Amino acid sequence: MKGIILAGGTGSRLAPLTKVTNKHLLPIYNKPMIYYPLQTLIEAGIKEILIISGPGHAGDFVNLLGSGKEFGIRLSYEIQDEAGGIAQALGLAEDFADEEDICVILGDNIFQDKIEVDDFKEGARIFLKPVEDPKRFGVAEIKEEKVIGIEEKPENPKSNLAVTGLYVYDNSVFNVIKTLKPSSRGELEITDVNNHYVKEEKMDAKKLKGFWSDAGTFESLYRSSSLVKKNQ
């Protein structure tokens, strides 16, 4: 299995912090943000990892992380020329994946749990976390322990289980992405990818026990730093 970190986007919600650097290079407590998703993949046993970023600060990732030798892994880099959504960015990883399964993590997601992927066989897997404000997230509807639907930022959530920014896919995901049409935001949505697997009954889900936080706003950036410091 190969790993992919999606670290593109403009980080506009964190301006002016992101005026001269990529969001994923901002500090979470005592490390750059990108270190945390990198560590999540490494702890899952993944040795080959691709970082996908925008063109503005791609060299900064290379300067920071290099070849990956420091971490005992092999790092590759890819450029997403323009913002087209998470699924569009993931589509750039097809050659890197080389027909292997992939574990995909959003570069601003911080996980306490060690992620298990060794038992993954086919289809897709998402990781869920109960939240107090599910309207902010993609929300999974569960029936008899099976995922029967995912809604993006629903007005009336069917559960409090947020879909976190961590996904496992078999190699068919790249064919799925090629069938997607842009959403009302003009982007290819990862929720549409996940719902494809739900309809095919090839989606499973794991519930996280430890803390999880994204870090895309000032509040969540601060919360992530506080959680990391508290749990070190």
| CATH at residue 225 | 3.90.550.10
Domain count, the chain: 1
Q: What is the pLDDT of residues 119-142, one digit of tens each?
A: 999 999 999 999 998 998 999 999
Question: What letter represents residue 96's amino acid?
Answer: F
Residue at 157 is within a domain:
no
C-alpha to C-alpha distance for 224 and 202, rounded to whole angstroms? 32
Residues near 207 by beta carbon (within 8 Å), at least 6 away in sequence: 127, 128, 129, 130, 161
Cβ–Cβ under 8 Å, residues 29 and 225: yes
Question: What letter represents residue 55's amino acid?
Answer: P
Residue at 148 is within a domain:
no
Closest by CA position to 139, among listed 104, 82, 186, 191: 191
Residue at 154 is within a domain:
no
Residue at 45 is within a domain:
yes
Range of the domain at 119: 2-126+164-202+211-230
Residue at 147 is within a domain:
no
Q: What is the pLDDT of residues 56-106, one digit of tens each?
A: 889 999 999 999 999 999 999 999 988 889 999 999 999 999 999 999 999
C-alpha to C-alpha distance for 11 and 18, rounded to whole angstroms? 6
Q: What is the pLDDT of residues 158-188, one digit of tens each?
A: 999 999 999 999 999 999 999 999 998 889 9
Residue at 189 is within a domain:
yes
pLDDT bracket for residue 199 (50, 70, 90): very high
Q: What is the CA radius of gyration of the chain?
A: 17
Q: Helices marked H in 44-159 — which ranges?
A: 58-65, 86-91, 94-97
